[in-house]
Structure 1
Amino acid sequence: MAARSLRHLIGDATLESRLPPKTPFVCAMSLPKSIPVTPLRPLPSMIFASRWLQLPLYLGLILAQAVYVFHFWVELVHLIEAAFGNTAALQQLVSSIGYKSDFEVRSLNETIIMLVVLALIDVVMISNLLIMVIVGGYETFVSRLHLEDHPDQPEWLSHVNASVLKVKLATAIIGISSIHLLKTFINAANYDLKVLMWQTIIHAVFLLSALAIALTDRLMAHPADRH
């Protein structure tokens, strides 16, 4: 038996030495197939290119963002100057926030500082809203930004679409409305009761609208769960 096994091993080794060298086998199914790109006809091409008409709108929003940055720094400089006793800067702040008092305002107080800080936060939140509209809207409706490997890519941009953008915009609007409502209640003595009531109602409508948008998007994303 041992001799027979040895002869088989020698025969197999001899046969393998006579065979041609093995070449790596590549499955044709594993190769990526190039999808032929069919050129668009003139009318569909023109309709598809019409998305670039939105580009001037986004550029205009960038200019509006620059105006908000300038306004932020003007208010911040006035606040710093008023803190050091500049009467003219203090009057500018009092006029911009709509603050009124039975006594002459000669220095900063807690209410004025709070109202000015809330106004600055309001500017920042509106600026964030502009960024979401500019970046998310361009990515969704105009063209890809190709930021997949960029280290500064916003977290929400990786999964942005029309539905996500709507929910984020609704959330940002609720935050801005909350800041305005808080400013109104802090300075409630200078507002009519109807103004307070309607601002509260409008804020509640914003909340209900955001909930309705989120619920609608969830139902559209999971239609099978309803059955």
Structure 2
Amino acid sequence: MSLEPPPARAPWYEMVEHAGERFLFASRWLLAPLYVGLVVALVAIAIKFFQELWHLTTHIIDSTGDDIVLSVLALLDLGLLANLVLIVIFAGYENFVSKIAAARKSEDRPHWMGHVDFSGLKMKLIGSIVAISAIGLLADFTGLTKKDHIDTNELMWRVVLHLTFVVSGLLFAVMDWVGERRMLLTKQTHGHADESE
């Protein structure tokens, strides 16, 4: 049984197809301004961080221990948020736009840069969101001692939201693990099939 080769396509068809594919491939550069916007957001986070740090250091004498804890938690929250933005900028740009050639030979290049795929980026994002949520929740609980009235309904919803983030992170991790196991089993099955032929 012989397979017939597909019919030859007209040259104009191939030119149109090639031009369309080049256009689609070039459309990835539409994401670049978004990452530049995230750099501006990173600058805003840094400004807010130093504003909080200035407030902490200038009011340290008349602050209570709880005030200092809340200020440090706010700094941690902003630091984690900045890390999250930076991860999205680097990994997103390298995965979807272009490799960052300026960092290729730099000794300061983060070890994960260029190795975080979409699945890894998703896990880093959800991990950062869970950490930020946990810090916010800890700040809420620490701030309870300063409040005369506790809104238990609002606090309950914050705990539910945090647990939702945690469960979502666990489900993402399980789905990635199942997907990796499936790909590994598929490769092994195809490898054995190729060897038997």
**Alignment-derived partner of residue 219 in structure 1:** 178
2-structure distance, mates of 1:215, 1:151: 34
Residue 80 of structure 2 corresponds to which residue in structure 1? 125
Q: In the alignment, what sits opposite 1:9?
A: none
Among 108, 118, 137, the alignment partner of 2:92 is 137
Q: 1:155 aligns with which of 87, 107, 111?
A: 111
* Residue 175 in structure 1 maps to residue 134 in structure 2: no
Change (3 A) 1:219 1:139: same
The count of corresponding residues between Structure 1 and Structure 2 is: 168
Q: Distance in 1 between matches of 2:157 and 2:82?
A: 25
Higher relative contact order structure (alpha carbons within 8 Å, sequence separation ≥ 6): 2
Residue 188 of structure 1 and its aligned partner are, at CA, apart by 2.1
- Going from structure 1 to structure 2, the CA distance change for 1:136 and 1:42 (only over 3 Å counts) comes to same
Instruction: Identify the match of residue 209 of structure 1 among 157, 168, 174.
Output: 168
Write out per-residue CA displacement over residues 59-101 of structure 1, whole angstroms, 9 at most, x where no aligned residue: 01100100111111111112211125xxxxxxxxxxxxxxxxx
Aligned to 1:56: 33
Task: Identify the residue that residue 7 of structure 2 maps to in structure 1.
Answer: none
TM-score under structure 2 length normalisation: 0.79
Q: What stretches of structure 1 of length at least 5 have no aligned partner? A: 1-38, 85-106
Which of structure 1's runs of 4+ aligned residues deviate more than 3 A? Answer: 146-149, 224-227
Alpha-carbon displacement from aligned partner over 1:194-217 (angstroms, at most 9, x marks no partner) = 111111111111111011111111
Residues 158 and 55 of structure 1, relative CA distance in 2, 3 Å threshold: closer
| Native 8 Å contact 2:95 2:118 kept in 1 | yes
**What does residue 44 of structure 2 align with?**
67
1:104-132 superposed Cα distances (whole Å, 9 cap, x missing partner): xxx21001111011001100000000000
Contact in 1 for aligned 2:94/2:114 (Cα 8 Å):
no
- Post-superposition Cα deviations, 1:33-71, rounded to whole Å, max 9, x if no partner, equal xxxxxx971111111111100111110110010011111
- Name stretches of at least 5 consecutive residues in structure 2 with no aligned partner: 1-14, 190-197
The aligned amino acid for 1:78 is H
User: Do the aligned partners of 2:81 and 2:132 also contact (CA within 8 Å) in 1?
Assistant: yes
Q: TM-score, normalised by structure 1?
A: 0.69
- The corresponding residue for 1:43 is 20
The partner residue of 1:188 within 134, 144, 159 is 144
- Kept in 2: contact 1:167–1:213 (CA 8 A): yes
Q: Who is 2:10 aligned against?
A: none
Q: CA RMSD in A?
A: 2.1
Q: 1:148 to 1:222 in 2, by over 3 A?
A: farther
Whichever of the two has the greater Rg, that structure is 1
Q: Distance in 2 between matches of 1:140 and 1:133?
A: 10
What displacement does 1:148 show? Answer: 4.3
Structure 1, residues 116-171: CA drift from partner, whole Å, max 9, x if none?
11001100000000000101100111111144432111122242100010001110
